[in-house]
Structure 1
């Protein structure tokens, strides 16, 4: 079921000053990726793709104390994610990692994408909208898909040290309020009369609050 939320007012964020600009007649649209556009979480799927199901489940078993600590609120979403990324990709050469992500984007992501989501994106693009994917998943494997579909991307960025993936996140995990911060950093939303937002979890609610038209779990 589609739940559409229309917002008459936008939340103000202290310390962020934007200059009023000419209003853009075409809309801008922000989409969460995992679970909204796709049927599954690409973070989990890329772990399986890399190591196979047996090693994937073994890895999560070894990582279970951190996942339990996250669920209990003892550690942050970001730390739990970093520990998992380090376990599966830590020490991998960045060049090889990016090539692997390109392969994953080509071979796996298309099978995960909801047809209704693609239809909505195409409809918005035909209306002249700027479409932006805003995701907690790393940009490395989302960028190839975004490039193919000619949409913009704001995602989690991974740290590279001495040419290798460390498993750490550069800056903050693009989740919750960080999605709002990244959007406001990249776009002056006062320039758009219509702002469309699409998400599927509580972590997307801050972003959904930005929309003049917001949709929760719209493609299920």
Structure 2
């Protein structure tokens, strides 16, 4: 048992989203949901060489992701995009891993602070936790202008070291809290190493 008296800010639990709390990558699932199977396939074919280079570590993750996002959603009215995000969460609850959501609810019941730290876009991650107002989502933010998406990211892609940076922006006094983190990929390595307790692929 952790002696919380040593940590004035108590326990903080940081959950990755894609692959950790979900069964699949939510970006790809969201594109398929929003654009349809045909448009999804065309997008995948168009960017498959770039995605292969990204997987090989020869092309930056964030650049590939932003190109795909821009191709699919640049110019879309923000209100329409957010409405699609809300429908996505409502109609795709099966994407969530039951064990992960159970753990999340246990954390909240015990009075812990729960944060979702994800490279995915805030707009479609947040609706999955609409029934848990205590959960705070930290993700990649997107830019909008004149009521429409520009296709660009407003923040750095919340991946790798950026996850630690974003966590410290929320809770800078690292010695004041006990951190438990859950992840499933190389994009979570720095966060897992930074935590007092790090769990890799814990909900499978």
TM-score greater than 0.5 by the shorter chain? yes
Paired with 2:146 and 2:54, the residues of 1 have a C-alpha distance of 29
Q: CA deviation at 1:26?
A: 3.5
Give the equivalent residue in structure 2 for 1:32.
Answer: 16
| Partner deviation per Cα, 1:161-180 (whole Å, 9 max, x = no partner) | 22211221112000000000
Structural mapping, 1:143-158, within 5 Å: 143-150=126-133, 151-158=135-142
Instruction: Please give the TM-score of this superposition, normalised by the length of structure 2.
Output: 0.91
Instruction: Please give the TM-score of this superposition, normalised by the length of structure 1.
Output: 0.84
Structural mapping, 1:98-117, within 5 Å: 98-108=82-92, 110-117=93-100
| Partner deviation per Cα, 1:108-156 (whole Å, 9 max, x = no partner) | 1x11111110111111111110000000000001112233223111100
Paired with 1:113 and 1:97, the residues of 2 have a C-alpha distance of 21
Say if 2:187 is the partner of 1:203.
Answer: yes
Paired with 1:65 and 1:167, the residues of 2 have a C-alpha distance of 20
**What is the alpha-carbon root mean square deviation over aligned residues?**
1.5
Structural mapping, 1:25-64, within 5 Å: 26-64=10-48
Q: CA deviation at 1:72?
A: 4.4
Q: Any unmatched runs of 5+ in structure 2?
A: 1-5
| Equivalent residue for 1:162, pick from 140, 146, 161 | 146
Paired with 1:68 and 1:115, the residues of 2 have a C-alpha distance of 31
| Equivalent residue for 2:54, pick from 53, 70, 73 | 70
Q: Any unmatched runs of 5+ in structure 1?
A: 1-21
Paired with 1:29 and 1:72, the residues of 2 have a C-alpha distance of 31
Give the equivalent residue in structure 2 for 1:218.
Answer: 202
Higher RCO (CA < 8 A, seq sep 6+): 1
Give the equivalent residue in structure 2 for 1:85.
Answer: 69
Query: How many correspondences in the alignment?
Result: 197
